[in-house]
């Protein structure tokens, strides 16, 4: 297999290797079951799910407690057995507010620790496969949170030639996808075949970064050889943000990438569908095991974490409880970020629950170079050099600060994918990503 070296046409960054990163090879550890789980009805790209329970109701593990409302909504299930304490308002890390169900743990597990008889998925129709994925509340775990059945449900008469399984962790220091591929390669390969059957794709590619090639690619090549059917492994540079959907498709097909905002929409084009490997694993569990999406792998690392780890966490678990799973904190962190260090969102409380969209929990201490007061722009051009989409972030930032959203949009604001390269490279610690994200929301409001 010929390795493709550097694919990014321009920009991108290669952050230094962080000594406190969780090693993918160390394996995934099951986090403890929380005593209380706060489960928001908004863990997807669309509108909040309609809450189906009230205070005092008993719930079972995997029970449907929120029914999808609207085209881009997704079902929500209880991650633990117990009793509903209350239904209250909950603010997500992104500021969106939705109802949330607080469940106190109690009773027996309906599925955990019990063997599930696998379903022979090859005997199911395409509609049945999509129905199982939709019922399980599977959403994109690579950051987009688009309900997965929507990305797989190609319109009648439209063909999908290429299906890409994205095995490149979405951000530096996040190693959950790599760990999952090491431990669940057979299940992920089966999930890829399920997706191929739904899409009718003639070509299926697993994309991995060169940093993880040796520990991952051989197992998948062997599995693909067993099943046949046009499957292949493609290795690309791990330079961030090569794993972004548009950039990855361009790398696989040898075309020029075209930005489409945050990249959290449907297929990159009519002939290609991209899914994250964690999402594909969830597809396998939904179709073959009938398991709803009630847990996910979360990377917990940072300068304050005693033992960085990859944890399999139940949805609704308070973020603060994950630190205890990692041996506690060595010091009080200056900042706690949900997601990765580039695109993650800082939170002001450790009571925030883990949701389907939380891929990582990262801490930063006071000595970290990115923690400190904002300084004036020195016009160094670093943000311009690293932008993969040929934008001028500092110029867009100034336009947004002056309220000139229309002008910012005319200069490419809508093309920003919020990758964070500009903010990472800024020596003045200007919060460029937050500014551009705010400007995009203002632009959407103007046209909405």
List the domain boundaries for the chain.
Answer: 115-288, 382-447
Give the single-character DSSP code of 273: E
The per-residue pLDDT string of the chain (448 residues; one tens digit each, 9 = 90 and over) reads 444 445 666 788 887 655 566 676 678 999 999 999 999 999 999 999 999 999 999 999 999 999 999 989 999 999 999 999 999 999 988 888 999 999 999 988 877 666 778 999 999 999 999 999 999 999 999 878 999 999 999 766 677 899 999 998 778 889 999 999 999 999 999 999 999 999 999 999 999 998 888 889 999 999 998 766 679 999 998 889 989 888 899 889 888 777 765 544 344 455 899 999 999 999 999 999 999 999 999 999 988 899 999 999 999 999 999 999 999 999 999 899 999 888 888 899 999 999 999 999 999 887 765 667 889 999 999 999 999 999 999 999 999 999 999 999 999 999 999 999 999 899 999 999 889 999 998 866 555 5
Residue 320's alpha-carbon distances to 98, 323, 353, 354, 384, in angstroms, are: 21, 6, 9, 10, 37
- Cβ density class 421-433: b for 16+ within 10 Å, e for less: bbbbbbebebebb
Residue 227's alpha-carbon distances to 112, 220, 222, 234, in angstroms, are: 30, 11, 9, 17
Whole-model pTM: value is 0.92
CB 185: neighbour CB atoms within 10 A?
19
Q: Which residues pair with 206 in a beta bridge?
A: 165, 233
Residue with tokens 């029970």, as numbered in its chain: 63
Query: What's the pLDDT at 264?
Result: 42
| Token couple for 216 | 């991952």
> What is the CATH number that goes with domain 115-288?
3.40.50.11540
| Token couple for 255 | 């075309």
Contact 223, 181 (CB under 8 A): no
Residues 204, 197: Cα–Cα separation, whole Å: 11
Residue 319's alpha-carbon distances to 36, 144, 360, 388, in angstroms, are: 12, 21, 10, 32
Residues 167, 212: Cα–Cα separation, whole Å: 9
Kind and range of the H or E element at 221? Answer: helix 213-227
Residue 358's alpha-carbon distances to 56, 142, 355, 378, 418, in angstroms, are: 28, 9, 5, 34, 17
Q: Provide the residue count of the chain.
A: 448
Residues 192, 277: Cα–Cα separation, whole Å: 9
């Amino acid at each position: 297999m010929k390795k493709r070296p550097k694919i990014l046409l321009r920009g991108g960054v290669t952050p230094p290797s962080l000594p406190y990163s969780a090693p993918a090879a160390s394996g995934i550890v099951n986090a403890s079951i929380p005593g209380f789980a706060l489960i928001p009805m908004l863990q997807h790209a669309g509108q909040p799910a309609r809450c189906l329970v009230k205070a005092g109701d008993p719930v079972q593990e995997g029970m449907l407690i929120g029914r999808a409302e609207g085209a881009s909504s997704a079902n929500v299930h209880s991650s633990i057995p117990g009793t509903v304490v209350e239904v209250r308002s909950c603010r997500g890390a992104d500021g969106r507010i939705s109802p949330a169900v607080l469940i106190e743990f109690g009773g027996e597990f309906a599925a955990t620790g019990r063997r599930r008889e696998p379903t022979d998925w090859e005997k199911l129709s395409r509609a049945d496969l999509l129905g199982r994925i939709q019922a399980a509340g599977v959403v994109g775990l690579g950051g987009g949170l688009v309900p997965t059945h929507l990305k797989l449900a190609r319109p009648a008469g439209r063909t999908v030639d290429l299906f890409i399984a994205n095995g490149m962790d979405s951000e530096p220091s996040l190693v959950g996808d790599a760990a999952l591929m090491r431990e669940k390669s057979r299940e992920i390969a089966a999930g890829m075949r399920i997706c191929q059957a739904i899409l009718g794709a003639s070509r299926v590619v697993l994309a991995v970064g060169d940093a993880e090639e040796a520990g991952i690619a051989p197992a998948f090549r062997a599995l693909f050889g067993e099943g046949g059917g046009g499957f292949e492994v493609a290795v690309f540079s791990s330079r961030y943000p090569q794993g972004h959907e548009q950039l990855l498709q361009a790398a696989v097909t040898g075309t020029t990438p075209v930005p489409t905002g945050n990249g959290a929409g449907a297929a990159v084009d009519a002939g290609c569908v991209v899914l994250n490997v964690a999402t594909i694993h969830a597809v396998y569990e939904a179709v073959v095991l009938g398991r709803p999406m009630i847990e996910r792998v979360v990377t917990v690392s940072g300068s304050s974490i005693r033992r960085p780890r990859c944890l399999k966490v139940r949805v609704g678990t308070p973020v603060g409880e994950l630190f205890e799973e990692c041996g506690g904190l060595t010091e009080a962190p200056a900042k706690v970020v949900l997601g990765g260090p580039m695109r993650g969102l800082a939170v002001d409380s450790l009571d925030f629950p883990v949701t389907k969209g939380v891929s990582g929990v990262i801490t930063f201490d006071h000595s970290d170079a990115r923690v400190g007061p904002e300084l004036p722009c020195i016009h160094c051009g670093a943000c311009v050099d690293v932008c993969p989409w040929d934008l001028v972030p500092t110029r867009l930032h100034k336009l947004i600060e002056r309220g000139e959203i229309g002008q910012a949009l005319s200069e490419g604001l809508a093309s920003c994918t919020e990758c964070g390269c500009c903010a990472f490279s800024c020596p003045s610690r200007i919060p460029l990503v937050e500014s551009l994200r705010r400007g995009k929301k203002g632009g959407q409001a103007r046209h909405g």
